[in-house]
A and B are shown apart, each in its own frame.
Chain A
């Protein structure tokens, strides 16, 4: 994760009163996935979202500016074709079968009241962790 002290934009949907974290419903067609190969694509256009300025403000850890109504469009691609991983974690109560592989993103983001469009650069992207695509079961579906 980047240094929050130098962060100037934090586009995310916020935390629901239930605690559901940065998760919003989308159209089923926004997701194309092949859990066998690990290839997947997530495409969303003009999603209404907030810009919390930085993650510490977003989490309520420091006082910050009011969130700005914004819109983001993104196209995330998981290449798959990596090592398969099977997990069964009784401590956290989930299991799954995944295929690893690099992921890249193309995005634009704008503040509704602003006129600057922020766009990702296609080159030089990297994945700090191990991206993965697969199937997962937790809670009542975990056994």
Chain B
């Protein structure tokens, strides 16, 4: 009689291997979630500190003013066309209400390195 495979052991090994792979995948996914998924652009490293001063790293928010001479892109590892403006004015509601507005509007269109480290091309609006 030919010795058979210890099927119980193999099954347990396969289950353990799958479980380890799933755990590794979930750990990787958790680590990567803060950086975004493939295709997602990364934020610029600089921005505004909580006292609204411009800082090159570790900001409170990853954005600077929509005006030269500041960095107007919000996407890091970016090369392309950009437009930015702060615009103030008045607005009205269809119910007869009136308001003032202050908007920061930008666009970015070009190449960038995504969260997975791949070169991408995309178009983005900043609202």
Binding site for B on A (CB under 8 A): 1-2, 8-9, 11-13, 15-28, 30-31, 33, 35, 40, 42, 44, 47, 49, 59, 72, 74, 76, 78, 85, 87, 89, 91-94, 96, 98, 100, 103-105, 107, 115-121, 124-141
Contact = CB atoms under 8 A, between A and B. Distances in A.
Given A33-B81, A93-B45, A138 B76 contact: yes
A40 B83 contact: yes
A57 to B, nearest CB: 14
A118 B42 contact: no
Contact of A137 (B63, B68, B78): B78
A105 B103 contact: yes
A-B interface, 7 closest residue pairs, ranked by CB to CB distance from nearest:
A129-B67, A103-B85, A131-B85, A139-B77, A141-B79, A125-B89, A133-B83
A33 B68 contact: no
A33 B83 contact: yes
Interface string B69-109: 10111111111111111111111111101011111110111
Contacts of A137: 78-79
Contacts, number: 240
A18 B42 contact: yes
Nearest to B52: A1
B107 to A, nearest CB: 5
Interface of B: 33-36, 40-47, 54, 56, 61-69, 71-95, 97, 99-105, 107-111, 113, 115, 122-127
Instruction: Classify the interface of chain A: helix, strand, loop or mixed.
Output: strand
Given A27-B123, A89-B71, A22 B63 contact: yes
A20 B40 contact: yes
Contact of B68 (A87, A107, A118): A87
